[in-house]
Structure 1
């Protein structure tokens, strides 16, 4: 599987600009690319308060519709973040969009302190079967809590994709976390972060990375904008689990109702 990481500097509240860069990246991807991954809330940037009502969109809104058209035209898939408006509340959401439509929707379950007054957390951890691989999504702060990745692994995930908006001075925290989540679950992790400075003065830390099932760094970006393609060999998961298998050997299971769907989605409801 060939994945392109798009470590970009976005503009908070400027959906037109962010969408333009997204469509350009999709149009210019390599011919053999399967998936492009963008940062957390890339389409809208980080917004809050009164600005939310003017910027947030539903999943069938014009911005994601434009991304879906580009994906169908190019014949690739993307994971991208947005600020979602749904039933009168707002979610920090990432979606996996394929040429057939939205294959997976994940609402951030563990909110950073500054989000909690505006954003409603999701109630489930989600995976889907895509191109023969079970994929799970997480967002930024989620990866600092080991139970999130473990829950996805318990659902059978082989690849966890993290859309990230991590800022200084916490870059080293996410570098450690993404490596730990890969090693302790013996699966691939892909994290794509934002760079540059936000409207509120935050400086985003970059450091997008791909980690193997042995916890080894396959690729790591710096602090500037970057576009990089990696190829994942999922035989490495079998190799990592050949002598010992953490998921099989553990004696504690995470609790929660598992929901199976005919389209390949598998979810753990956490309330």
Structure 2
């Protein structure tokens, strides 16, 4: 499978600019690319408590609809973050959009300091079947908690997509974390981070990466903008899981109700 990592600059509260960059990146994908991944909250950037009500949109809002139309036109799947407005409740959300529509929605469960007071935390993890593989998603700070990746692994994830908005000086933290999360769950991990400056003087660290199920770093971007093609060989899943399987051998499983939907969606609810 060929995937493109769209490591882009963004504008906080700059939906028009960010959407234009996303649509241009989708249009520029190679003909045989099956998936393009963008950074955390790419479509709106990072709103503040004062601006989130103005920039956040519902799932059926114009910005997500524009990405859905582009996915249909270019016959490609898109993983992209946005600020979601669900009847006045705001979430840091990532979507997996296929040519057929929204296949998966994930709301960030572990809020970083700058998320608090802006977004509410999500209450579940989820995976879906796409192109014969099971996909789960996490967002930025989530990956610093081993339980998050284990949650989507318990739901069968073969590929963990991480939309990222990680800034200096924490780039090395996420480099270590993404390799560990892939290795300890024997799954591929794709992480796409933002670059450039953000509001408040933040400098985003780049370092978008592909890690295989053995925890090997197959590709790592630098700190500049770019759209990079990487290739995933899913035969490596069987190789990584041949001699032992952590999910089968673990003696402590994460709690929470598992819901299996008829369309293949699986959810693990976080206990209250």
What is the TM-score when the length of structure 1 is the normalising length? 0.99
Q: By how many angstroms is 1:105 displaced?
A: 0.5
Q: CA RMSD in A?
A: 0.7
Q: By how many angstroms is 1:53 displaced?
A: 1.2
- Measure the CA separation in 1 of the matches of 2:138 and 2:180: 15
Q: By how many angstroms is 1:87 displaced?
A: 2.0
Which residue number corresponds to residue 238 of structure 2? 238
Pairs within 5 Å for 1:104-115: 104-115=104-115
- Measure the CA separation in 1 of the matches of 2:21 and 2:116: 28
- Measure the CA separation in 2 of the matches of 1:143 and 1:96: 18
- Measure the CA separation in 1 of the matches of 2:98 and 2:114: 32
- Measure the CA separation in 1 of the matches of 2:188 and 2:128: 15
- Measure the CA separation in 1 of the matches of 2:184 and 2:14: 38
- Measure the CA separation in 2 of the matches of 1:49 and 1:157: 33
Which residue number corresponds to residue 267 of structure 2? 267
Which residue number corresponds to residue 62 of structure 1? 62
What is the TM-score when the length of structure 2 is the normalising length? 0.98
- Measure the CA separation in 2 of the matches of 1:11 and 1:229: 24
Please tell me whether residue 26 in structure 1 is matched to residue 34 in structure 2.
no
Pairs within 5 Å for 1:38-53: 38-53=38-53
Q: By how many angstroms is 1:199 displaced?
A: 1.6
User: 3-state SS of the aligned residue for 1:262?
Assistant: coil
Structure 2, unmatched stretches of 5+, are none
- Measure the CA separation in 1 of the matches of 2:7 and 2:114: 23
Q: By how many angstroms is 1:6 displaced?
A: 0.3
User: 3-state SS of the aligned residue for 1:80?
Assistant: strand
- Measure the CA separation in 2 of the matches of 1:11 and 1:114: 16
Q: By how many angstroms is 1:249 displaced?
A: 1.1
* Maintained 8 Å contact 2:207/2:221: yes
- Measure the CA separation in 2 of the matches of 1:115 and 1:125: 18
Pairs within 5 Å for 1:162-241: 162-241=162-241
- Measure the CA separation in 2 of the matches of 1:93 and 1:152: 16
Deviations 1:101-123 (A, max 9, x none): 10000000000012111210000
Which residue number corresponds to residue 141 of structure 2? 141
- Measure the CA separation in 2 of the matches of 1:258 and 1:30: 37
- Measure the CA separation in 1 of the matches of 2:156 and 2:89: 30
Q: By how many angstroms is 1:128 displaced?
A: 0.3
Query: Which stretches of structure 1, 4 residues or longer, exceed 2 Å deviation after superposition?
Result: none
- Measure the CA separation in 2 of the matches of 1:113 and 1:198: 16
